């Protein structure tokens, strides 16, 4: 049967039905459904506020990651240098980041540096819930199951709710060992709450649980969403995917409780307990909004009661019901399914709409389209993964020497420039070693080019075995190598060169090929700022030092 024919027959049936039922059933059906929808709006508003608070905690987690995973912070906890405090821990930092609390705690629980300060007025604060001088090492905020883990949430304090985040202190690369814990916080005062109200367009307040009691029972409203009333519209609302998603998103909150505003019946107040950072219900979230649907219900009831005697009104109501059942609801299911796909990007679900009418055929076509998209996505994912693997492989090949496995000359100038700029900015020394294998042509002439290349590779591994990060070695071409030593002065560089000479002297080369070849190397040393003040001069001096050693008989350091 065609959809148009079904609509016409249904309209005639409901025309006669509504004439018989009249206004007696209209009020009973409309009231609870609108009240249930009103309470659903309240849940949605709660979810929006809870999501906004969660987003604020996530932003705080991002901010603390930038601070706690930073080489400067890592060094500050180790040496408590004054320069870091003056540069980074000023009142302007609190004002710019809107922070009211900042703590640095070492691994022994000792507070290295702490400040509790109103970021708006600059006045000192006393939160009391946080230790000032020493923390117990088993405190939940100081313990992390993973080095990258961040603790974030809301803490109830004497001055009100405090958004707080704690992170282990690591290097800029996220490496350890962990030097302690950094904690930051932001009070959810009037300005912060007003800012969140502007974002969510929801009027709310976050109370400490001991400061705010629920309204009296006389103002409590029936929770229609939790009752088992036999209204089809209410059952359809409770069983809808959107309603189930709302319940899942607010699972961390306690069941909402609805109350009339004591001053006016046109306002609805909703309360729920909000968990703090320790998972305790120490906060009370209050959301207030006008009861527009209640007012709308009263007006609609008055209009319906006045117009039920008019055939046109009955016909319109019947028509709306038919459209809702045969068209709006299936299309709504299609829209909800599309929204789910947009939310979780999963193409595995299928639309369950049976029927041979136009909408049923539309659903079948839609499901076939999803199947094709799912196959295309899988192929694209595999192709992207392969592309990323090849990209990493080619990036490595572009900066590594095939024979020795060391960095190549192309990487030397990039890496050297980067470390030189860091050392210059931090006022730290940097040293270069130019290394050349002595009389290597005799090895090639005696044993051939293949074994000569093997000797070059073994020498590279011997040199690399003497280094630790951030130092690195470069195959500069043939039997020449360059070693970059960030943080090393000339004395340390000479000591490292002597260490390499000793290691080379103890090494027997080409032993795997049944040979016993002994090699020596000449070392040219140059350091910043002792020998040169710029990168070009540093390279030139290291090269001249190497030739000086060569001219003085080789196997030496200069």
Q: What is the pLDDT of residues 243-277, one digit of tens each?
A: 454 444 444 666 777 776 666 667 778 888 888 88
Beta partners for 268? 260, 289
| C-alpha–C-alpha distance, residues 77 and 74, integer Å | 6
Which residue has 């029972």 as its token pair? 217
Distance (Å, rounded) from C-alpha 373 to C-alpha 362? 16
Least confident range from 206-215, 281-290, 476-485: namely: 206-215
CB 168, CB 68: distance < 8 Å: yes
pTM, two decimals, is: 0.47
Q: Are 6 and 329 in contact (CB under 8 A)?
A: no
pLDDT higher at 128 or 19: 128
Instruction: Give the model confidence (pLDDT) of 481-532 as tens digits.
Output: 999 999 999 999 999 999 999 999 999 999 999 999 999 999 999 999 999 9
- Which SS3 state, helix, strand or coil, does residue 83 take? helix
Q: What is the pLDDT of residues 8-53, one digit of tens each?
A: 677 677 767 766 776 667 666 666 667 777 777 777 888 888 888 8
pLDDT of residue 102: 93
Q: At 203, list the tokens.
A: 């009027």
pLDDT tens digits, 222-244: 665 555 444 454 455 445 554 45
The secondary structure of 481-495 as a DSSP string is: EEEEEET--HHHHHH
- The answer to whether 116 and 124 have CB atoms below 8 angstroms apart is yes
Say what the pLDDT of residue 419 is. 94
Please give the pLDDT value at position 69.
94
In terms of Cβ atoms closer than 10 Å to its own Cβ (0-12, 13-18, 19+), residue 280 is exposed
Residue 158 pLDDT greater than 70, yes or no: yes
Residue 62 has pLDDT above 70, yes or no: yes
- Does position 121 have pLDDT exceeding 80, yes or no? yes
Burial class (CB in 10 A: 0-12, 13-18, 19+), 317: middle
More confident residue, 447 or 301: 447
For residue 539, pLDDT over 70 is answered with yes
Q: Bridge partners of 185?
A: 101, 164
What is the mean pLDDT of the segment spanning 357-366? Answer: 77
**Mean pLDDT across the chain, nearest whole number?**
83
Q: Say what the pLDDT of residue 67 is.
A: 94
pLDDT at 500: 95
Q: Give me 292's structure tokens.
A: 């527009």
Among residues 304, 244, 296, the alpha carbon closest in space to that of 266 is found at 296
Structure tokens belonging to residue 467 = 């280094």
- Of 104-118, 215-229, 292-306, the range with the highest mean pLDDT is 104-118
Core vs surface per residue 329-360: b (16+ CB within 10 A) or e = ebeebbeebeeeeeeeeebeeebebeeebebe
Quick one: average pLDDT of 310-339? 72
* pLDDT value of position 247: 47
pLDDT of the residue at 230:
44
To 10 degrees, the CA torsion angle through 299, 21, 307, 290? 10
Distances (CA, A) of 134 to 86, 99, 237, 293, 324: 23, 21, 54, 54, 65
**pLDDT computed for residue 309 by the predictor:** 66
In the block, which residue shows the tokens 């020998």?
531
Q: Are strands 203-208 and 472-477 parallel, antiparallel or unpaired?
A: unpaired
Q: Over pLDDT 90: what percentage of the chain?
A: 40
Q: What are the beta bridge partners of residue 111?
A: 105
Q: What share of the chain has pLDDT > 70, as a percent?
A: 84
């Amino acid at each position: 049967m065609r959809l148009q024919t079904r609509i016409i027959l249904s309209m005639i049936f409901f025309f006669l039905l509504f004439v018989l039922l009249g206004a007696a059933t209209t009020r009973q059906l409309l009231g609870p459904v609108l009240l249930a929808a009103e309470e659903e709006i309240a849940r949605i508003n709660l979810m929006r506020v809870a999501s906004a608070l969660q987003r604020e905690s996530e932003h705080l987690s991002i901010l603390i990651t930038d601070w706690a995973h930073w080489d400067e912070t890592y060094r500050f906890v180790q040496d408590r240098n004054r320069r870091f405090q003056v540069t980074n821990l000023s009142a302007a930092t609190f004002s710019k980041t809107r922070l009211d609390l900042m703590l640095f705690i070492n691994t022994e629980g000792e507070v290295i540096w702490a400040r509790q300060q109103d970021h708006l007025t600059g006045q000192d604060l006393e939160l009391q819930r946080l230790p000032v001088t020493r923390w117990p090492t088993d405190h939940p905020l100081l313990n992390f199951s993973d080095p990258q883990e961040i603790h974030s949430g809301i803490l109830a304090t004497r001055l009100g709710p405090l958004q707080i985040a704690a992170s282990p202190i690591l290097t800029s690369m996220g490496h350890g060992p962990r030097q302690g814990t950094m904690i930051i916080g932001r009070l959810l005062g009037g300005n912060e709450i007003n800012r969140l109200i502007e974002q969510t367009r929801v009027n709310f307040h976050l109370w400490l649980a001991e400061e705010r009691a629920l309204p009296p029972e006389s103002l409590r409203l029936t929770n229609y969403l939790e009752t088992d009333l036999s209204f089809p519209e209410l059952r359809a609302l409770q069983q809808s995917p959107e309603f189930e998603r709302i319940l899942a998103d607010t699972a961390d909150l306690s069941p909402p409780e609805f109350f009339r505003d004591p001053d006016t019946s046109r306002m609805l107040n909703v309360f729920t307990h909000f968990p703090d950072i320790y998972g305790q219900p120490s906060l009370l979230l209050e959301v207030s909004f006008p009861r527009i649907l209640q007012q709308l219900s009263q007006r609609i009831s008055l209009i319906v009661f006045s117009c039920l005697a008019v055939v046109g009104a009955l016909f319109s109501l019947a028509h709306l019901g038919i459209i809702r059942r045969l068209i709006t609801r299936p299309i709504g299911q299609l829209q909800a399914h599309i929204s789910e796909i947009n939310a979780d990007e999963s193409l595995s679900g299928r639309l369950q709409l049976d029927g041979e009418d136009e909408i049923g055929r539309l659903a079948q076509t839609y499901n076939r389209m999803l199947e094709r998209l799912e196959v295309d996505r899988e192929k694209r994912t595999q192709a992207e993964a392969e592309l990323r693997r090849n990209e990493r492989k080619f990036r490595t090949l572009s900066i590594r020497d095939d024979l020795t496995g060391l960095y190549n000359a192309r990487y030397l100038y990039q890496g050297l420039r980067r470390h030189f700029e860091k050392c210059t900015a931090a006022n730290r020394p940097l040293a270069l070693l130019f290394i050349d294998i002595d009389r290597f042509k005799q090895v090639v002439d005696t044993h051939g080019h293949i074994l000569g290349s093997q000797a070059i590779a073994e020498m590279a591994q011997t040199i690399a075995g003497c280094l630790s990060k951030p130092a690195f070695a470069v195959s500069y071409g043939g039997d020449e190598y360059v070693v970059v030593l960030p943080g090393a002065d000339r004395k340390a560089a000479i000591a490292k060169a002597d260490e390499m000479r000793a290691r080379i002297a103890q090494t027997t080369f080409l032993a795997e090929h049944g040979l016993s070849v002994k090699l020596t190397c000449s070392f040219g040393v140059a350091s910043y700022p002792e020998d040169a003040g710029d990168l070009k001069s540093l390279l030139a001096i290291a090269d001249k030092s190497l030739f000086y050693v060569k001219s003085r008989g080789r196997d030496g350091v200069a």
